[in-house]
């Protein structure tokens, strides 16, 4: 055996026993947290009510597709449907509805499959760096068990679907770009296109890939990568414009009239970084180690670009889902950082540091399983509320809880009052059609997220209905029932 090979084998023999201890500790803690997280997640997935305001809107858009109607109709027409996402999630959810019926269960399972796909890609990247299946499993589980990700995992939203397409594209890019003459990064372009046509903010991964080609001075390959991506996107956009008589562009780009606050973004990002300081420290260690060797990777650039695209969290209507891609990139870079640390644990000081990191990760994993205490969340009274909507004599229902109306088989008058209200407030739209319908008692039933009998109206009401609509409801309708259900707490009927 050559001396170099003997030396390498000897080094591996010194490293492996200690490395395996840390790997086992990480994997054990990850498995424990994942068990709690999956228990909570599947209890939430099975609930037959909408868990989030947007779930009913997405289900309504998918139902339109199953009836042969576009999810992108005339935005000014009533009944009104405003669907601000790309066609990919609506088509997928429509297929799930056709397969499993008009329920939330199968579409949510599709979101869960996307979560597993993202975790799998993260694990694959970490394994390529560490060559440890236990370490790869642990950091794939990190992403799944982060509390913010845990909150959004059982919810029918488009973010995890788009993120899955994005990370698959990143993995395909990494697989086919190694610096050789036969590199084929163009294979990643269709996946990135699917991600952008799910939600157009998913540009961080393709931007990172482009930057990597530029850093490596692969100018011709970078131009081809941009060209094929833009060509696929242009064809898709053109076809959607033709199919919707030019309305697709407004739905996808013109429905975000809620204001932006950079200060709000700063607060959210600061809180996020403080809460995930350990992952941030591991990622910083890994990136610094790679930079010391003059290595620039797609993972590093993805984290940077995901931090930039997470600026959308500063919009008034944005929630924690706008940080999911950043958290995926952070979990990946933290895993790569730990793999870097793991390679150095043959010396006493790094060994002590690694053991401390493993212990802290154990605490992180276990504590992240906290939300299992209340899987029903704020849906405890939704069974009664949904039955009330379903059994009500009226067919015309104005509801903030769109899911209740869709599942009752009744027409949706306005599918996204939040979007409509900000178009009224900031884009010069008129709330006259809604006010007139209220004053004419067109709705036999109104379901609101909060009572409006006292002024000023609660914040949740003000974000979804103009002052004129709220005043008309106060004058023309009266409360008849109350429920403990998200977005369906108060039932109103005409005076």
CA distance linking residue 270 with residue 276, whole number of Å: 10
Structural domain boundaries, residue 86: 15-373
Does residue 472 share a domain with residue 351?
A: no
Does residue 222 share a domain with residue 342?
A: yes
Look at residue 317 in the predicted model and tell me its pLDDT: 84
From 366, 357, 406, select the one nearest 386 (Cα to Cα): 406
> Is residue 400 a part of any domain in this protein?
yes
Look at residue 370 in the predicted model and tell me its pLDDT: 47
Bridge partner list, 448: 490
Does residue 414 share a domain with residue 350?
A: no
Furthest-apart CA pair in the chain: how many Å? Answer: 93
> Is residue 3 a part of any domain in this protein?
no
Q: Which residues of the chain have pLDDT under 70?
A: 1-19, 177-183, 345-379
> Is residue 267 a part of any domain in this protein?
yes
Boundary of a domain, candidates 373, 395, 411: 373
Q: What is the dihedral of CA 469, 474, 476, 477, to 10 degrees?
A: 110
DSSP sequence for 226-275: HHHHHHHHHHHHHHHHHHTTT-HHHHHHSS--S-B-HHHHHHHHHHHHHH
CA distance linking residue 15 with residue 335, whole number of Å: 18
Q: Given the structure tokens 């108060």, which residue do they identify?
A: 490
Does residue 80 share a domain with residue 19?
A: yes
Does residue 51 share a domain with residue 177?
A: yes
Look at residue 32 in the predicted model and tell me its pLDDT: 82
CA distance linking residue 161 with residue 173, whole number of Å: 19
Does residue 332 share a domain with residue 253?
A: yes
> How many CB atoms within 10 Å of residue 292?
8
> Is residue 7 a part of any domain in this protein?
no
Boundary of a domain, candidates 373, 392, 426: 373
Instruction: Tell me if the bond preceding 337 is cis, omega within 30° of 0.
Output: no
> Is residue 6 a part of any domain in this protein?
no
Boundary of a domain, candidates 350, 373, 396: 373
Look at residue 27 in the predicted model and tell me its pLDDT: 82
Q: Residue 397's Cα: distance from chain center in Å?
A: 29
Does residue 426 share a domain with residue 369?
A: no
CA distance linking residue 346 with residue 2, whole number of Å: 23
Rounded to two decimals, the pTM is 0.90
Q: What are φ and ψ of residue 398, in 5° steps?
A: -105, 120
Does residue 251 share a domain with residue 202?
A: yes
Look at residue 278 in the predicted model and tell me its pLDDT: 84
129 burial via Cβ count (<10 Å: 0-12, 13-18, 19+) = buried
Does residue 471 share a domain with residue 402?
A: yes
Look at residue 314 in the predicted model and tell me its pLDDT: 92
Number of domains, the chain: 2
The answer to whether the Cα torsion of 176, 177, 179, 182 is positive or negative is positive
Does residue 432 share a domain with residue 340?
A: no
> Is residue 407 a part of any domain in this protein?
yes
Look at residue 178 in the predicted model and tell me its pLDDT: 58
Does residue 352 share a domain with residue 395?
A: no
> Is residue 4 a part of any domain in this protein?
no
Q: At what angle do helices 189-196 and 219-243 cross, to 10 degrees?
A: 40
> Is residue 30 a part of any domain in this protein?
yes
The answer to whether the Cα torsion of 224, 225, 226, 231 is positive or negative is positive
- Strands 397-399 and 445-448, by their bridges, are parallel
CA distance linking residue 474 with residue 454, whole number of Å: 9
Does residue 395 share a domain with residue 347?
A: no
């Amino acid at each position: 055996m050559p001396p170099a090979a003997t030396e390498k084998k000897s080094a591996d023999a010194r490293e492996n026993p200690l490395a395996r201890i840390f790997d086992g500790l990480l994997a054990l803690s990850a498995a424990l947290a994942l068990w709690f997280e999956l228990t909570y997640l599947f209890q939430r997935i099975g609930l037959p009510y909408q868990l989030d305001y947007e779930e009913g809107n997405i289900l309504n858009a998918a139902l339109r597709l199953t009836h042969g109607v576009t999810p992108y109709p005339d935005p000014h027409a009533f009944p009104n449907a405003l669907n601000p996402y790309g066609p990919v999630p609506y088509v997928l959810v429509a297929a799930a509805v056709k397969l499993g019926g008009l329920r939330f269960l199968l579409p949510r399972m599709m979101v869960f499959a996307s979560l597993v796909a993202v975790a799998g890609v993260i694990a694959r990247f970490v394994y390529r760096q560490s060559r440890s299946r236990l370490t790869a499993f642990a950091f794939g589980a990190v992403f799944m068990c982060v509390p913010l990700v845990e909150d959004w995992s059982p919810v029918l939203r488009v973010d995890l679907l788009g993120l899955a397409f994005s990370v698959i594209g990143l993995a395909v890019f990494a697989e086919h770009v190694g610096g050789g003459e036969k590199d084929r990064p163009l294979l990643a372009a269709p996946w990135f296109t699917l991600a952008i046509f799910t939600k157009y903010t998913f540009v961080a991964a393709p931007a990172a890939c482009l930057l990597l080609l530029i850093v490596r001075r692969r100018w011709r390959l970078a131009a081809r990568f941009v060209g094929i991506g833009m060509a696929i996107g242009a064809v898709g956009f053109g076809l959607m414009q033709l199919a919707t008589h030019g309305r697709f562009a407004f739905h996808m780009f013109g429905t975000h009239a809620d204001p932006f606050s950079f200060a709000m973004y700063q607060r959210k990002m600061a809180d996020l970084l403080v809460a995930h300081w350990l992952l941030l420290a591991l990622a910083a260690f890994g990136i610094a180690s790679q930079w010391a060797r003059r290595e620039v990777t797609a993972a590093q650039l993805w984290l940077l670009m995901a931090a930039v695209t997470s600026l959308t969290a500063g919009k008034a209507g944005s929630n924690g889902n706008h940080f999911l891609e950043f958290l995926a990139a952070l979990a990946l870079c933290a895993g790569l950082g730990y793999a870097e640390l793991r390679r150095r644990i043959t010396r006493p000081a790094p060994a002590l540091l690694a053991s401390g990191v493993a212990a802290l990760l154990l605490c992180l994993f276990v504590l992240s399983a906290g939300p299992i205490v209340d899987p029903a969340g704020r849906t405890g009274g939704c069974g009664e509320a949904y039955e009330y909507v379903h059994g009500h004599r009226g067919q015309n229902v104005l509801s903030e809880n769109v899911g209740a109306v869709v599942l009752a088989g009744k027409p949706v008058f306005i599918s996204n009052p939040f979007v409509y209200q900000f178009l009224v407030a900031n884009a010069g739209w008129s709330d006259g059609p809604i006010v007139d319908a209220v004053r004419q008692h067109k709705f036999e039933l109104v379901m609101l997220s909060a009572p409006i009998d006292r002024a000023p109206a609660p914040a949740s009401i003000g974000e979804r209905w103009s002052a004129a609509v709220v005043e008309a409801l106060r004058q023309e309708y009266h409360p008849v029932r109350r429920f403990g259900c998200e977005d369906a707490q108060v039932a109103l009927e005409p005076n």
